[in-house]
Structure 1
């Protein structure tokens, strides 16, 4: 995001759009953040005609027209009220025009149907709500659908699986634009999980453990305090006093991911925070996070942020690193 200027975010709504997703976008991109010393987003709505939100809950008046999309840096498309009914030609034209001029495109839930209908997802990775995955795949075979993840970041096109996953994707965008510390601050304001990786499953077999005292929370907290150590899945299992196979099952049931994927995600999240602090060189960051080498650090940070550690530090660091 250009420093010193607002990034224009425009959300296309239509009759029957989900008010929760409108609330997510408004909370993340529309509210002022005076406590954060960064230029924030310029958020607005637009529509192709009158808008009554989902289930007739309320009607919106004086919503700007679709020409607002022409000035947007990021365009958000919320759920399709009925995925079987295509968007209007005007909406499809606006989405295609935004893609052609290089705007960032984002969909929440079945909004991926709108992006796909506009032809901007062909050959690209995307996700949508699990309930509509089969219908989506049948209708848009050229899209590389990933049906069992929270969200997909494919560079300038990002898709979230459902309404709650819109919060995960929105915070991911804030993290991309402003860095981990700012995203963490926004998450704290929301009283929301700081980071759920997009590769996590859309729904978890057992979201709440049957016996809270046997949850993974203690071993997770211990691992987070010891990320500088060369921890392995075997180490985590030993700390939890269970077998590695049981640990894998518990991670899938409680977190929807694997122990190794979780551990790597935590290491990279810590690395991003340390890079932003600007006090350590890359070799020191790699050692402090258990990633081992600067080369390994570069691979994982680029995979998560789309930037090399050097570029990430140049964009987000608050102080010069020590030699």
Structure 2
């Protein structure tokens, strides 16, 4: 077998995103990657990503619709990319078994998932495909909390040196190795067949979760979340969850403001947490039932105020019990979880876009005190406010760093 030699990126100032398509690919999943990463821009209006469509053999690729696509790039581009996205192919995904990929494809995926310069074994010695120690000090190089420390329900590295560092942010030295690989929907079967998910937590489309768990028993399957972030390896649920995953990766690279602008251009919600429910019992408002959307819109204009559950319920003319049940049916979250997430989002924006102190940001975001903001920020994002600001914005007023 001829080894896959990584291609040379064409734009050294951008991160390369390779979308690996196979016969039967879902056009929506391919398109959403191009749309989201392709519209991400720096403050100067420069593209932040170079998105390339790749295939095991470049050329004509069938889709699950009545039209084909053409993939110009091959596995060398996959092996060299900073980010690899694997969308679903319902023709083949669910028939995959451990070790069932062509070796050339498996090697390209293992190379893409490994740190640059790492020795990538071609055999089964290391099922994750990189010569690294196993356990919590894995390819991400940082300890990963697996318990309630991360309230989003996704595994995220802790501390300021994590994978959320932005490349090219003002006053920030880019990460040396931003490489990662991700799947959308049943693309997770491909990553698992390559051995990249062994010993890791992952998700897939809820309708395929049972088969996925039976086929790949070494993977810890979480069928109820939108996406799982395991550092270098990320997986998402069905098609729409791929949007959330892509926005999460853009946010991790370049901050909340860039991701929010991409979402605004695409007319999608800027942020749904990875731990949010995949399948919501009543996602569309039923005729004759009152929605909680009015109180949510009302709350977003009053985040600085000490809102209570009773006030939210009263705004929609419901009892607290009915409101709480209806809210979870519509969002997959409790009202307090949702409100806390929106306040963290607001704090992120203020940290990125202003020189305000932590105490002032805490007041404007509705946390009341700097201590409360620090606690919620650390629990939700795995980093303190000061480290987040340093990552995505650098220092505040000249000579002054945010107090943590």
TM-score (ref. length: structure 2):
0.73
Out of 149-158 and 233-242, give the one that drifted further.
233-242
SS at match of 2:264: helix
User: 1:263 aligns to what?
Assistant: 339
- The alignment status of 1:74 with 2:150, answered yes or no, reads no
Q: 1:80 to 1:296 in 2, by over 3 A?
A: farther
| 2:93 aligned residue (64, 67, 83) | 83
- The alignment status of 1:292 with 2:302, answered yes or no, reads no
Out of 85-94 and 182-191, give the one that drifted further.
85-94
Is the contact between residue 16 and residue 51 of structure 1 (CA under 8 Å) also seen in structure 2?
no
Out of 10-19 and 88-97, give the one that drifted further.
88-97
CA deviation digits over 1:221-265, x for unaligned, max 9?
Answer: 221122122323333223333232212211122112211110111
Aligned-pair CA distance for 1:301: 3.0
- The alignment status of 1:23 with 2:31, answered yes or no, reads yes
User: 2:206 aligns to what?
Assistant: 130
Is the contact between residue 20 and residue 86 of structure 2 (CA under 8 Å) also seen in structure 1?
yes
Task: Kindly indicate whether structure 1 or structure 2 has the higher relative contact order, using CA contacts under 8 Å at least 6 residues apart.
Answer: 2
SS at match of 2:64: helix
SS at match of 1:120: coil
SS at match of 1:171: helix
1:49-128 correspondence runs (5 A): 49=57, 50-55=59-64, 57-61=66-70, 63-81=72-90, 82-86=92-96, 87-101=101-115, 103-128=179-204
Structure number with higher helix proportion: 1
- The alignment status of 1:9 with 2:85, answered yes or no, reads no
TM-score (ref. length: structure 1):
0.90
Aligned-pair CA distance for 1:202: 1.6
Q: Tell me the matched-pair count.
A: 320
User: 1:229 aligns to what?
Assistant: 305
User: 1:283 aligns to what?
Assistant: 359
Is the contact between residue 18 and residue 53 of structure 1 (CA under 8 Å) also seen in structure 2?
no
User: 2:257 aligns to what?
Assistant: 181
Structure 1: tracts of 5 or more residues without a match: none
Is the contact between residue 39 and residue 47 of structure 2 (CA under 8 Å) also seen in structure 1?
no
Structure 2: tracts of 5 or more residues without a match: 1-11, 116-138, 140-178
Give the aligned CA root-mean-square deviation in angstroms: 2.4
Out of 44-53 and 129-138, give the one that drifted further.
44-53
Aligned-pair CA distance for 1:39: 4.9
Q: 1:5 to 1:259 in 2, by over 3 A?
A: same
Is the contact between residue 278 and residue 319 of structure 1 (CA under 8 Å) also seen in structure 2?
no
Aligned-pair CA distance for 1:33: 4.2
| 1:43 aligned residue (32, 39, 51) | 51
SS at match of 1:44: strand
- The alignment status of 1:245 with 2:259, answered yes or no, reads no
Out of 29-38 and 300-309, give the one that drifted further.
29-38
Aligned-pair CA distance for 1:304: 4.2
